[in-house]
Amino acid sequence: MAEIHELSAVELRDVLRSGEVSAREAAGHFLDRIGAENPHLGAFITVTAEQALKDAATADARHASAARHGAALPMLHGMPVAFKDLTDVAGVVTTHGSAALDHKPALADAALTSVLKGAGAISLGKTQVPEFGLTAYSENRIAPPSRNPYALSRSSGGSSGGSAAAVAAGLLPFAPGSDGGGSVRIPAAACGLVGLKPGRGLVPAGESSGDPAGLVATGPLARSAADAALMLDALVPAEPGPHRNAAPSYLELAAQEPPRLRIGVSLDSPWQTIFPFTPGQEALDALAAGVRMLEASGHETTEATVRYDNRYPDAFTTAWTAAVGSARIAPHREALLSPLTRTFRRRAQQRSAAKLNESLGFLRLFQRDTTVQYAAWDLMLMPALAQTPRPVGWFTGAAHGDGYWPASEWTGDADGDYRKQCEFAPWSSMVNVCGLPAISIPVHWTGGARGAGLPMGIQLIGPMGSEALLLQVAAQLGF
């Protein structure tokens, strides 16, 4: 058998269920890898090794009992996972990536945690995030930045950057991420992974009361479409009733060939009027590679022109930053916020409720108009990112990318930081506004071969309910 971390998530699931590998062996193996690799990778903020091994021992006891009595095991029996440090795990500190908060252990599991624990997964800890999950890079003032396993000088993206780095480096078989403006797809693209953002409402654990526009969805970060499908099966509740197991699983559906599709190819972005940008050659190379692979698989690609309302940037930013304005932060600790968080918090607090409602109303109109345009094609195709993964510290203007950063090393240019992010990932957030499913697929590497140089991906956007189709296409392309 290959090393445990070299197994796909589906293969690891199988050997755990068969008893060839115990849950304690799997947890211990990944914890050893975290201990060896995390000091230079920065993927984890907190490692809960003792609790993980206890939970794994309980899973092994359950396996032994099930074998004796012929009982069924949960879907993700013994599978190691980790949670973004925005997600509560009972008894573990949730930092939200912020030095301005009191870091107290969570009293209870969040909905996502409960779902995956209930499916048999074993939590190994909490992964690195930007402050309050606001940015497309996973750097903050409380822990070392999350780095790209393919080039440690580069960022792993955000806001699920720590989780993506952990999966790409073999510290986890797969991981859940949350995506409110690209936070699964951006780090997936930066780290050479498959990242799926489900459509709005498919995964109940992704909902949040602090998300007035309904932007956030929970989805998998994985090394393959099959692995992503396995996690999606655990995230999506089974249909109630006597026929709850009659429908094929996402894992089964992902193995099927997709129909021949008409795919619209576009470089248009709702950010280009306020932040004119030119995609890097590497992004165009990834797009060209994606087109070649799709056409070789029998699909038809045509150039698509999409017209986006130029009021979008202001409305999205208003909705995206609303929650940080109401976050409970003691006044004397606000100085500990990053310049970007502090700036957007102040602006959110100065906005009227009418302004927020106006923005939310516009975004609903934007959703209807954009989805009507997309409906001319079966799927929409564009680069996942406009630039290669950025150097650590590039967005914040930090003098260097090592260790913890004192305030003197942050430029305080919040608007410059935000503009860089929008130019780096200009095709992400409008998918969240529309509530549509989308997938990032790592079709290109700057070194010319898979695993060489830096990864660059494509994004495919589908209509509501197309998660299985997106997984099928990713699998068809060899991922």
**Residue 369's CATH number:** 3.90.1300.10
**Neighbouring C-beta atoms of residue 107, cutoff 10 Å:** 8
Domain-embedded: residue 67? no
Domain-embedded: residue 376? yes
Domain-embedded: residue 206? yes
CA dist 364 and 367 (Å) reads: 5
- Does the pLDDT value for residue 241 go beyond 80? no
Over residues 393-440, the pLDDT tens digits come to: 999 987 454 545 555 566 679 999 999 999 999 999 999 999 999 999
- Does the pLDDT value for residue 183 go beyond 70? yes
Average pLDDT over residues 74-83: 98
Domain-embedded: residue 231? yes
pLDDT score for 411: 66
The structure tokens listed for 428 are 């992400």
Of 215-229, 276-290, 387-401, the poorest mean pLDDT is in 387-401
CA dist 67 and 284 (Å) reads: 53
Catalytic residue list contains 84: yes
Question: Are 437 and 199 contacting, i.e. CB atoms less than 8 angstroms apart?
Answer: yes
- The residue type found at 297 is S
pLDDT score for 161: 98
Catalytic residue list contains 183: yes
pLDDT score for 256: 98
**Domain extent at residue 472:** 130-238+246-476
Domain-embedded: residue 106? no
Domain-embedded: residue 42? no
Over residues 79-100, the pLDDT tens digits come to: 999 999 999 999 999 999 999 9
pLDDT score for 412: 73
pLDDT score for 242: 56
Q: What percent of the chain has pLDDT over 70?
A: 95
Question: Are 281 and 289 contacting, i.e. CB atoms less than 8 angstroms apart?
Answer: no
pLDDT score for 349: 95
Q: How confident is the model at residue 300 (pLDDT cuts 50, 70, 90)?
A: very high
Over residues 144-159, the pLDDT tens digits come to: 999 999 999 999 999 9
Q: Catalytic: which of 84, 117, 197, 420?
A: 84
Q: Catalytic: which of 22, 146, 155, 159?
A: 159
Residue (of 443, 472, 479) closest to 299 by Cα position: 472
Domain-embedded: residue 122? no
What percent of the residues of the chain are helix, what percent strand, and what percent coil, each to the nearest 5? 40, 15, 45
pLDDT score for 204: 85
Q: Catalytic: which of 22, 146, 155, 183?
A: 183
Catalytic residue list contains 159: yes
The count of domains in the chain is: 1
Domain-embedded: residue 3? no
